[in-house]
Amino acid sequence: MKKTVRKMFFAWNGDKEKEFLEEMALKGYRLVKVKFGKYVFEEEQPKKLIYQFDFRSFDKISEAEYLQIYEDAGWSFVARIAGWYYFSREWNQEEIDLSLFNNNRSRSAMYKRLLFFLLLTGFPLYYQVLLFFPAMTEAKIELPRFYFLFRIIVLILTGLHLLAVVRIFYLYLNIKRDISE
């Protein structure tokens, strides 16, 4: 039997999302599909699963090779949404640390990839706000109401994007500081 849960997590809430998925596994629900704000679970015997995520952006290896690396390390691929890959494995008391990112160097590398991706994808938004909007005048605009609404939407998206960049950058700096100490 499938169960759908609508819940919103962001990249800076990875620990909360991981905790949520692991609690669902203890209740007998294994993650099978992820969409934006939507998790689909299948009912099975309750067990202790460990979930981890990785962000893959512009890698030189193919997706099959990428997934094989984690499979060789004992992780099962669960789902993918955009550049985020979800992996799981059963908890093993004999293994001390089952996490994919069991050190700060690998976690910082993931956040660095995510920051690069966010900055690259945010460029069109920043271009609109910094260069295109100031050049628009009422005399040149044929549909002023449309462009007013367009400006509001772009400003909201830009604000949300900047929030994400700042939060991820803050996580990245904290991890880098821990590495250097």
- What distance lies between CA 81 and its chain's CA centroid? 8
Q: Which of 26-30, 31-35, 172-176 is predicted with the least confidence, judged by mean pLDDT?
A: 172-176
pLDDT tens digits for range 91-123: 776 654 555 556 677 778 888 888 888 888 888
- Mean pLDDT value of segment 58-70: 83
Cα 161 to Cα 23, 48, 104, 158, distances in angstroms: 30, 35, 25, 5
Q: 91 in the Ramachandran plot: left (φ > 0), alpha (ψ -120 to 50) or beta?
A: beta
List b or e across 109-129, with b for residues whose CB sees 16 or more CB atoms inside 10 angstroms.
ebbbbbbebbeeebeebeebb
Residue type, 144: P
131-157: average pLDDT: 68
Contacts by residues 25-30 (CB-CB < 8 Å, ≥ 24 positions apart): 25/49, 25/51, 25/88, 29/3, 30/88
Percent of the chain with pLDDT strictly greater than 70: 83
And the tokens for 137?
């005048």
Mean pLDDT of 169-178: 84
pLDDT higher than 90, residue 131: no
What is the rounded distance in angstroms from the CA atom of residue 44 to the CA atom of residue 27? 9
Lowest mean pLDDT across 39-43, 64-68, 100-104 = 100-104
pTM given for the model: 0.75
* Choice between 111 and 130, residue whose per-residue pLDDT is larger: 111
Distances from the Cα of 101 to the Cα of 52, 55, 152, angstroms: 8, 11, 39
Q: Looking at the predicted structure, is the pLDDT value of residue 139 above 80?
A: no
Averaged confidence pLDDT in the chain:
81
Three-state DSSP state, 8 = coil
For residues 20 and 133, the model is more confident at 20
Of 128, 174, 171, 119, the C-alpha closest to 151 is 128
